[in-house]
Structure 1
């Protein structure tokens, strides 16, 4: 197993959301919640408050970048065709 996978961990979370006003969600609600979580997560953890991570000096140490824009390690035998690892 690759070194970067040995350090992989996750935390299963269960939570309930209650809308304050009526809302309509698409058939596949997962993408809506992922997008909302990603946008909020970036806003909370981004030190430089940039709109995009490209060229950011802190990208290698940023929690948002690690979760949502993880680059495939150089020299990786798997996923070498792709610029980013799979994301939640």
Structure 2
């Protein structure tokens, strides 16, 4: 999963001053695409928590593609993804 990489990059964009500038040519954020299987890994949760605590400008795009690496989503998550 690339969620931690995207979160770190987004934090770098924020620290560089490229967020909330009001200039459409300079404003930036990061987006990361991943499948439901990636949510079985702890680093996805770490990316969620780290991005929330640092207010990193990152969009997490979760695609439920049914290619889980462990168990079906219905088993690993009490709520739909």
Whether TM-score is above 0.5 comes out as no
Q: Which has the higher helix share?
A: 2
| Bigger radius of gyration among the two | 1
Which one has more relative contact order, counting CA pairs under 8 Å at least 6 apart?
A: 2
Specify the TM-score bucket, using the shorter chain as the normaliser: under 0.3
